[in-house]
Chains A and B, each alone.
Chain A
Amino acid sequence: MRILMFGWEFPPRISGGLGTACLGLTRAMSELGQTITYVIPCARTGEEPGHVRLVSAAEVPASDRPGWDAEGAAPPAGMPGRPLDVLLRIIDSPLHPYLREDRYPGISGGAAGMLAPSGNYGSDLMAEVLRYGKAAGRIAAEASFDVIHAHDWMTVPAALEARRVSGRPFVYHVHATEIDRSGNNVHPAIFAVERLGMSLADRVIAVSHYTRGLIVRHYGIPAGRVSVVHNAVSRREAAPAYRAFKPPGKKWVLFMGRITFQKGPDHFVAAAAKVLSVLPDVRFVMVGAGDLLPQTIERVAELGLGRQIHFTGFLDGEEVERMFALSDLYIMPSVSEPFGITPLEAMLHDVPVIISKQSGVGEVLRHVPKVDFWDVDALAWTIVAILTQPELAEAIVARSRGELEALRWETAALRVLDVYRGLLGP
């Protein structure tokens, strides 16, 4: 089958779960013999927005691609060196998947600091999304494909334009909704684009039953039009190499994700404060950036815990691997998490995890402890239990190994192909 896919990010530059999921799925589909034209936005200075570049995916992991950051150009640790067999199309556009939430995407360490603004974006977002859609239409007019597959709301206008031009069916793959991101502060225009996409799509794919429920309840989409395809996780061979460097001593408890409402950073801090009152030698680390970073840091200061709760800003590639390797426990206290790949990555590093009950990944990790995101006492109590009972931590990791093994992108890709077949007929 030939697929026109509107995706996000490409190695070596992957900044979040959406890019990771798009890549994992695309790679698996390509390995199953599908032909994919993969369209992504990428800001390139000096180019008119909307300019389309054709890039051979075979040359993508090379270090000297014009217009791309050369830094970190080596394939991420553990990524197979074999180039991905997709046709990559890059539309010059400042869109990136977390634009609305990351008013401060941040760059760790560098001169820009953790709060460097991502550029002046805001009211123009919708205009840019539509402009991106027009450019997508031009690609659709010249490419040949059987099905259109779009990931999350910013690509909805692009997918609709592609369908208008080609008449091919459109699958809307929902990795997150405005309900997850913003709770009671929903952005009406974004919500409207999402509902439009869900209503007009020929089929909706949700990354969990949890998300499917939201789509049915909040967007009024009939349950029968929504398929569930769980995400998976890519094996990274480099992980064990880092494990050896973990020095003895303090226990590290990790939060890794955007510091935004959705991810529940305040619940992590509140639980950390409770844990530190009984286990003062634990080191908490918050990896990530986002619009709540300043107030989260201030909250930690107010609690007088700046020496125990550390911040790194955004990390990527090797530093993420290192951080997992140093951690003794990973917490994902999300208020609403459609799926959540990072707990799986933590488990691949033999790091036990605690996730919120409001997380889709809980559907595939039955043996990990789960707490309600708002139940700080339960979270703190569970952290203490795992840190003080190594056998408990080992049991969580050991019992989840089988589940992790079963979580393959190939499985997800086969399910997606089933969805296509349902649309195209046998």
Chain B
Amino acid sequence: MPSVCLYFQIHQPRRLKRFSVFDIDAAGAPAFARYEAEEENRRILTRVVEKCYRPATRLLGNLVATHAGRFRCAFSITGVTLDRLAIDHPDVLDAFRALAASGCVEFLNETYEHTLAFPRDPEEFRTQVRRHRERIRDAFGREAVTFRGTELIFSNALVERVAELGYRVMLAEGTEPLLRGRSPNRVYGTAVDPRVRVLLRNYRLSDDIAFRFSDRGWTGFPLTAAKFAHWIHALADDARVVNLFMDYETFGEHQWAETGIFHFLEALPGEILKHPAFRFQTPAEAAEAHPIEGILDCPGIVTWADRERDLTAWQGNAMQQDALRALYRLSVQVQRRKDPDLLNTWRLLQTSDHFYYMCTKWSADGDVHRYFNPYASPYDAYVNFMNVLDDFTERVTAARPELEEPRC
């Protein structure tokens, strides 16, 4: 009995304001407020809430009710986004709570600030995941069992860390370096820990919705729920699980309401359930329901990003490398201070979006990279980030300078 597994990613970064060299060392607000483009962030979040989070979540609530337990899905909401929603849009948070209470929706764990702490800073990575686990538990009353890394990052080393933290299900990209000719529509085990099961994103079917839905040049256009369900049903003989993973913003923001994306989403569960063999399951349920049918051995890093399916969009050029190195070099100094403001600021600066804005790969993925990018160029992004980091480093050093190692 094949499962269809839907998971939506929710993340909005705390973008930085223009911070010029004149602002470095100047008096001003403490903590992250010093660097944050608060108004812009509030405005963008409100727009995304109105165009996507609110209508899409209302729709999913209706679908859960209508299908009486047969429609199921999952969310991963980053800690930064959850915190902002709780303050500015509590009704949206309530809608997610109602979904959680239905028992049909699973909430996943990741790094609280949507960071690349793995692979840069393993200890900090653990802390960020633990904090996210607590935040999700507090918000939705459930302990998460499934982990997804920032940008669906996956590797053997990550499996080890995640298993140590107690997770038994992980999500990854169903890409060739992992599959080596095998089907993404199975449950896989890992080469490093027999307890961990992995679900792989079916990127073709996922991107049919997320990227191609409104593409008039695409042979699948126009995509109806019946047509899409037909494609899924065609996998009945072979597939154990079809994993459709995408950004939640697909609904109403990447694909505007005018494209018919909400009608598509509304009709999809009914169309898929027309075939008696198919059912919806959350990642934890789907991973349990099917046997492990192969082992994934992944010494390098695989992500869901770009054609390369790697981290080059975040750490592929010298600017990104410099920014990341300078930021994570502060780890010990920041932790030693035990100052909540400094720690929180340091973590918000780790949010992967800051480095994504510095990406210089102008390929077919360029359009995606421009999306939501507040900077005119990757050079502006880097220069601005380094101004902030210089100021922040001064603040860390100035706070309890007796903790500094003597310089030789």
Interface residues of chain A, those whose CB is within 8 Å of chain B, are 108-109, 111-116, 247, 249-250, 280, 283, 285, 293-294, 297-298, 300-302, 304-308, 310-312, 319, 322, 326
Contact = CB atoms under 8 A, between A and B. Distances in A.
B318 interface: yes
B21 A115 contact: no
B313 to A, nearest CB: 16
Contacts of B18: 109
Interface stretch (B224-232, B272-280, B340-348, B387-395): B387-395
Contacts of B390: 283, 307-308, 310
Interface of B: 18, 20-22, 24-25, 317-319, 321-323, 325-326, 375-377, 379-380, 382-383, 386-387, 389-390, 393, 407
Nearest to B358: A301
Nearest to A322: B22
Given A109-B20, A285-B21, A304 B380 contact: no
A312 B318 contact: no
A182 B395 CA distance: 43
Closest 7 CB pairs of A and B: A113-B376, A301-B318, A306-B386, A301-B319, A301-B322, A113-B380, A302-B318
13 contacts: A109-B18, A111-B376, A113-B376, A114-B376, A115-B380, A302-B322, A304-B321, A306-B322, A307-B322, A307-B386, A310-B21, A310-B386, A326-B22
Contacts of A307: 322, 326, 386, 389-390, 393
B133 to A, nearest CB: 33
A310 B25 contact: no
Nearest to A319: B22
A98 to B, nearest CB: 19
Nearest to A312: B21
Given A310-B21, A310-B387, A322-B22, A115 B393 contact: no
B20 A113 contact: no
A108 B407 CA distance: 36
A298 B316 CA distance: 12
Nearest to B392: A307
Q: Tell me if B's interface is mostly helix, strand, loop or mixed.
A: helix
Nearest to A114: B380
Contacts of B325: 304
Given A301-B319, A306-B322, A307-B386, A293 B379 contact: yes
A115 B377 contact: yes
A108 B23 CA distance: 14
A283 B22 CA distance: 12
Find the residue from A108, A249, A301, A302 having the highest chain B CB count within 10 A: A301
Contacts of B407: 280
A298 B407 CA distance: 28
A252 to B, nearest CB: 9
Contacts of A112: 376
A294 B97 CA distance: 47
A163 to B, nearest CB: 44
Given A112-B376, A304-B321, 9 more contacts: A116-B376, A250-B25, A283-B24, A285-B21, A294-B377, A301-B382, A302-B318, A306-B326, A307-B322
A108 B383 contact: no
Contacts of A322: 22
Contacts of A302: 318, 322
A306 B25 contact: no
Given A114-B383, A307-B389, A310-B383, A298 B317 contact: yes
B375 A306 contact: no
Given A249-B25, A306-B386, A298 B380 contact: no
Contacts of B326: 304, 306-307
B214 to A, nearest CB: 27
A301 B387 contact: no
Among B21, B322, B323, residue most surrounded by chain A Cβ atoms (within 10 Å): B21
A114 B376 CA distance: 8
Contacts of B386: 306-307, 310
Contacts of B382: 297, 301, 306
A233 B318 CA distance: 40
Which of A307, A311, A319, A322 has the largest count of B CB atoms less than 10 A from its CB?
Answer: A307
Contact of B375 (A113, A247, A300, A311): A113
A311 B25 contact: no
A383 B383 CA distance: 24
A298 B318 contact: yes
Nearest to A306: B386
Contacts of B377: 113-115, 294
A306 B358 CA distance: 13
Contact of B25 (A116, A247, A294): A247
A322 B21 CA distance: 11
- Most B C-beta atoms less than 10 A away, residue of A112, A311, A319, A326: A311
Nearest to B375: A113
A307 B317 CA distance: 16
Contacts of A311: 21, 379, 383
